[in-house]
Amino acid sequence: MAKQLECCVKNYHWGKEGSTSKVAQFAKAGSEEFTIEESQMYAELWMGTLATGPAVVKPKGILLPDYIAKNPSCLGKTILDGFNEALPFLFKVLSVNKSLSIQAHPNKKHAEELNRKFPDIYKDSNHKPEMALALTDFEGMCGFRPFSELQIYVKGVPELAIVLGEAAVESVISIDVNDEGAIKAALKQAFSFLMRQDSMVILEQVMTLVARLESHLPVDCIEEELMELIIRLNSQFPGDVGIFAAFFLNHMKLKPGEAMFLAANLPHAYLSGDCIECMATSDNVVRAGLTPKFKDVDTLVEMLDYTPRSKEDNLMSPSISVDDPCVRVFKPPVPDFAVHDIQIEAERSYVLSEEKSASIVIATEGQGDFSTIGKIGPGHVIFLPANESCSVKTSSNMVLYRALCLPQV
């Protein structure tokens, strides 16, 4: 039987303030006891079993991981066969008002190695692929941009050339854009040198560049959108090395309903907006800029995927469910999770289908009456066991997001 969940709220400095945060709005809808403090930053709503923020099954108050441990069959064959008796994904809502760190996540083998060597920093041995689906206009940086763009910036932005150094600059400028191996080597050399550059050199050149941009002095090769981003990042993290990373990484702007998949070793940073996020159950993050947290520069620069891609290459296209035209399926190339984006018209009876995997479902828009649960609206979260369906009668157009594991073909 479907169960309503009360989910864990995380307050981080980069979140949105008070009731402007969808995380706060959703948390209040999901818990009668939750009170929004308007001066507090609300960053993440965790819907899952991770030990540092497990959901609670209503109304009895049992932790979701304890409920699953007592009822392992609720996970279903897909999870039990591939992940033992544990939910393999963590579902989230994020509200971002300030840049998150320049970061990447290790693959499974690397995660095991980092956990073995540095258990106080990398606290589990799992990988952490992620997928972000925009609820509002959502902004981030993701993956290395096309190499020809970096070449233009290196030639035209003297501050960038100074922090990279002559050898890296020469390597970037002189390489044939059709030589993929040489491009990756040059990218690694330049980005590694940047991230390891003396902090005083970075500070001086950031201040020089920002002063130039704020004075509206001409910088022909920097488009207005990138100028605005550099100035904004500097206002949040003055003189930080991550500001120069904006020349290396794709500046992504997602419209509601668009998504991007963050594979292992892919450099990225969220910048602003609200999104649904789904990931493998892990908390492994390797950071190197735009953060007050621990930075592991050496690990990051050695692990990154230095393949340049376009913005479009980083977008993830959904498929329409063969069985249900209301469902857009976002299925990344990992077995840990997939997400259904479900759009239901008003005044309609609809059935959430039986699946071979347990699901977590959150309503983000509209109102409906769910069988066995009652009235559901934005922010309400449901745990749906495997091999069970759940019906809803909508009173307005409704949007649901459903995290689950799909059988591997």
Catalytic site residue from 145, 287, 328, 402: 287
pLDDT band at 217 (very low <50, low <70, confident <90, very high): confident
d(CA 341, CA 328): 5
Is pLDDT of 84 > 80? yes
- The amino acid sitting at 95 is S
For the segment 108-118, the average pLDDT, to the nearest whole number, is 94
* 257 part of a folded domain: yes
Residues 119 and 173 in one domain: no
For the chain, the residue count is 409
Give percent of the chain with pLDDT exceeding 70. 100
Over residues 233-256, the pLDDT tens digits come to 999 999 999 999 999 999 999 999
pTM for this model (two decimals): 0.94
Residues 152 and 136 in one domain: no
Supply angle C-alpha 349, 135, 348, rounded to 5. 10
Residues 110 and 161 in one domain: no
d(CA 327, CA 319): 8
Cα Rg, the chain, nearest whole Å: 22
d(CA 381, CA 175): 52
pLDDT band at 177 (very low <50, low <70, confident <90, very high): confident
Residues 37 and 119 in one domain: yes
Q: How many domains does the chain have?
A: 3
Residues 117 and 152 in one domain: no
For the segment 188-207, the average pLDDT, to the nearest whole number, is 97
> Who wins on pLDDT, 322 or 18?
18
CB neighbour list of residue 61: distance below 8 Å, 6 or more residues apart: none
The overall average pLDDT reported for the chain is 95
Give percent of the chain with pLDDT exceeding 90. 90
328 given a catalytic annotation? no
Residues 98 and 13 in one domain: yes
Q: Domain range for residue 396?
A: 319-404
CB neighbour list of residue 227: distance below 8 Å, 6 or more residues apart: 213, 219
Tokens coding 22 = 């969808």
* 361 part of a folded domain: yes
Residues 156 and 183 in one domain: yes
- The amino acid sitting at 338 is A
226 and 283 Cβ atoms separated by less than 8 Å: no
For the segment 288-317, the average pLDDT, to the nearest whole number, is 94
Q: ω before 59 within 30° of 0 (cis)?
A: yes
Closest of 258, 271, 250, 269 to residue 339, by C-alpha? 258
Which residue shows structure tokens 């990154």?
Answer: 304
Question: Which of 24-38, 151-165, 207-221, 287-301 is the least confident region?
Answer: 207-221
Residue 92 CA neighbour count, 13 Å, CB half: 25
d(CA 107, CA 141): 20
d(CA 141, CA 85): 35
Tokens coding 100 = 């998150």
For the segment 327-356, the average pLDDT, to the nearest whole number, is 96
Residues 355 and 396 in one domain: yes
Q: Pick from 291, 310, 345: which residue ends a domain?
A: 291
For the domain that residue 268 is a member of, what is the CATH number?
A: 2.60.120.10
Question: What pLDDT is recorded for position 409?
Answer: 61
* 313 part of a folded domain: no
Question: What pLDDT is recorded for position 69?
Answer: 96
Supply angle C-alpha 232, 238, 242, rounded to 5. 75
379 and 315 Cβ atoms separated by less than 8 Å: no
Kindly report the backbone phi and psi dihedral angles of residue 369, in degrees, each rounded to the nearest multiple of 5, phi listed first. Answer: -110, 115
Over residues 392-409, the pLDDT tens digits come to 999 999 999 999 999 876
Residues 376 and 361 in one domain: yes
For the domain that residue 154 is a member of, what is the CATH number?
A: 1.10.441.10
Residues 134 and 219 in one domain: no
d(CA 97, CA 241): 20
Is pLDDT of 73 > 80? yes
